[in-house]
Structure 1
Amino acid sequence: MDDLHSATGSARHAGNSASDPAARSVVPATAATIAEVSSAGQRIKANIERVIEGKQSPVTVGIAVLLAEGHLLIEDVPGVGKTKFAKALARSIDCSVRRVQFTPDLLPSDITGVSVYNSEERDFEFKPGPVFANIVVGDEINRASPKTQAALLECMEERQVTVDGVTYGLESPFMVLATQNPVDMEGTYPLPEAQRDRFTARISMGYPDRTAEIAMLSEHAALDPLDSLPAVSDATEVRTLIAAVRGVYVSESIKAYAVDLAEATRRAAEVRLGASPRATLQLLRAAKAWAALAGREYVIPDDLQLLIAPVFAHRLLLTAEAHVAGRSAGDVLRRVVQQVPIPAPAARATL
């Protein structure tokens, strides 16, 4: 999550965090609901942190992605808690959860489901696959073949599954939490650009600090806290929170700022494929959820700056020259944040 922190300029732009009068006049009726979003987010976060020590930023991004109706890719080295975090988030919500271990022999029908012949009814009967759940945990997604990975494309984008010409809708909330290992790439199939673009954000857990790792040794050595982790929310509440997040106010200047950030990635000399329009939309949706979790009814530039790395970095394809020079997508995004002008605060309305 270093990129997430380094891409932000919160201290430089504290003046833009002031309350927006236009926002207050547009959505005053949602104040109580936004407060509920913030309260529920803190409750879910505290529950997850019973299992994951010292990872506040990744946890908050994961909750924001859930409330933004997106999907999360967790990429990091083995043993840092990728799958444990995905399970903790899923278990914190009392809803249907299915886990899929991606392997080279996994078939698309193992994900979506299959039609089988029912001899008694003399007709084909559809047997739903694990994708028919509120939260789908896909462990090591890059170990399955491209055609199996592609089985998730329709459900992640359109929230539906088509099998044998019949389309089945997926229940809300619906979220794919996938993990992958960036090292030990032998026998793996890297996600293609189109698949990565379906994920709202990509996060890394990183190694815990010394204090957190010592605490983990004390608390996790005998019992796994994940086994006794209770649910602190449910699907009905999450749907209510999602509806509240949709109502978060976004000014025209903030929308223009999001587009300016995306266009800057497309013009960058080190980038051969910049952020897509879908990426811009996902950045704005995630920023609305981030604002609501912070107890605000409106989005500010800081929200976009905080989220640009997890939302944009996995979508950028750098040039060969950039790779040779040792530059990363995070480097590009840091410069983009520094160079793109920040929108001025909205003029104070006359009350």
Structure 2
Amino acid sequence: MKTIAIDAMGGEKAPEAVIKAVLRVKKELPHTQFVLFGDQTKIKSLLGNDISQIEIVNTTEVIKDDDEPVKAIRQKKDSSLVVAAQFVKQGKADALFSMGNTGAILASGIFIIGRIKGVARPGLMPTLPVKNSDDGFNMIDVGANAKSKPEYLLDWAKMASYYAEKVRGINNPRVGLLNNGAENDKGDDVHQKAYQLLLDSKLNFIGNIEGNELLDGKADVIATDGFTGNAVLKNIEGTSGVLIHLLKNSLLNNGLFVKLGALMIKKALKGLVSKFDVDKYGGAVLLGVNAPVVKTHGRSGERAVYFTLKQVDKILQEKIIDEFKAEFANKE
């Protein structure tokens, strides 16, 4: 039986959203144990009598969104996130999930759970939508590292490609490098050197991908430096949210005939909204640490947490961390 350590107190809708998701998902994952870390009184009141597959570990502190990440994990030793991460480090749990402070989650993964030997810098990787498929694409790194080296991008591409194959079921994933042009001599020294490393690797490298091509579905994995990746991720999330809001507003506030037209294309509109339904893709994974560390947005609700817990279980089933350890064992 696999065990997932869950920070039940992180996020805007915690612990309610977390508890509801656990109660829902455990029925589909009968061989998975869920350990909830947080205010025991609150958690028990939400669980009721349905406590099969569930363990509660009481903690007295919570890392808040405005806490400085590294300082917080060092000072708030009894926080739900830190105690959960310690459980993973000690082998009492196999994976960590939280929707709390992103920096603190990354720090917990890197400094408490620890990086895989041979991986210089772990990378944060979400799954994002594309226009002609429901599979989406993985982008790494999206903010775990402010500065990057070509070797980091190669490591991230290797791990993300393996993840795309084993967890998302994509055969021989296409790997692209986010750059400011399609030609192989585009970009700064980091990206030019990363291009050559990827070209010389055994990955299915298809070359540079420009920012306007990300959602076209040309690649299954996109490697990028953490600074650019974070900016692009927030731009995609913000733009998709604005477009859907404007579309709904236009259809509902421009008279009867527009509303009637909206009813006629209702099915097509649902398909469009579904493309940008990030909940179904699960959370962002910190690749390169000794156990799966997965986070969702702090504003996530029950549905997003439900899909993310299924994602974590799939990662554990495929034993991708063991594969990474074997891949990078002789690198250092």
User: What's the TM-score, normalizing by structure 1?
Assistant: 0.22
- Structure having greater relative contact order (Cα 8 Å, sep ≥ 6): 1
